[in-house]
Amino acid sequence: FEYSKKFFPKEKVVKTGLPVRKALIDGLKLSKEQARALLNLSDKPTLLVMGGSQGAVFLNNLAFDIFKRAGFQGVHITGERDYERFKDAYKNMPVLVLPFTENMGLIYRACDLALSRAGASTIAELSLYGVPALFVPFPHAIRDHQYYNAKEIEGIGGGLVIRQEEAELNTVLKLLENILSNREEFSKAITRFAEHNPCEKILNSLQEFLPRD
């Protein structure tokens, strides 16, 4: 993230981007139509909700209210802890509920926008797929880094940010509708954050410190 450069000597900082799994790179080969067909989703606007690898109780509860009120089609990754609680609750809604998945490329490709935390890996993956997001940063992250991550994306026009304590249902719905109504612009903006070939950039930077024959 650009904001992190200020904590280090300028001449010692190289922005490389965060490496992502090969499976995520391979997922880019799918079209949105193919991804939705594989997930049995329709062509309606599709919201992805995820709270990180362990899920997030607050986001899970908020997501259920969103889907119940707004009628979004969606994919909700609850985390293992909350999966049993939500899988039956969604039975009559157009929402695919998963405890977790190894195939995030398929999920990202199928979705139009996301409601999520703002960890570095999550943002790197969303930007790779051009999925704009409403970020609800984890309020207890060290030095509030998720908030600053999200604010950087908001600053380039790739998403919006709301503090967890301010994330009331009606406010969140308005922000999601804003993103959806201007999805193309938000998508283009968050895509510009993605760094291509980060592994190569890291390797090239490290090689500068290796002894030369």
What is the rounded CA–CA span in Å between residue 153 and residue 207?
30
Q: Using CA of residue 145, residue 190, residue 108, residue 204, what is the dihedral sign? A: negative
* pLDDT score of 55: 57
14 lies in a domain? no
SS3 content of the chain, % helix, strand, coil (to 5): 50, 10, 35
- Residue 10 lies inside a defined structural domain of this protein: no
Classify strands 113-116 and 133-135 as parallel, antiparallel or unpaired: parallel
CATH number at residue 99: 3.40.50.2000
Nearest to 90 by CA among 102, 77, 103: 77
Task: Let me know if residue 107 belongs to a domain.
Answer: yes
Number of domains in the chain: 1
In three-state secondary structure terms, 12 is helix
The sheet carrying 73-77 orders its strands as 95-98, 73-77, 46-50, 113-116, 133-135, 159-161
Q: H/E/C letters for each residue in 21-71?
A: CHHHHHHCCCCHHHHHHHCCCCCCCEEEEECCCCCCHHHHHHHHHHHHHHC
Q: What is the pTM of this model?
A: 0.89
The verdict on residue 11 lying in a domain is: no
Of the candidates 98, 102, 121, the one whose C-alpha atom is nearest the C-alpha of residue 49 is 98
Nearest to 153 by CA among 167, 133, 181: 133
Contact assessment for residue 115 and residue 66, using Cβ atoms and an 8 Å cutoff: yes
Is pLDDT of 208 > 70?
Answer: yes
Asked whether residue 212 is assigned to any structural domain, the reply reads: no
Question: pLDDT grade, residue 54 (50/70/90)?
Answer: low
| For range 193-207, the mean pLDDT | 77
| Residue (of 154, 146, 142) closest to 186 by Cα position | 154
Residue range of the domain that includes 165:
20-207
Asked whether the predicted pLDDT for residue 100 surpasses 80, the reply is yes
Dist CA 20 CA 6 (whole Å): 25
What is the mean pLDDT of the segment spanning 178-205? Answer: 88
pLDDT one-digit tens code per residue, 151-169: 999 999 999 999 999 999 9
Mean predicted confidence (pLDDT) in 48-63: 84
Assess if residue 64 is contained within a domain.
yes
Mean pLDDT of 16-41: 89
Domain contains 41: yes
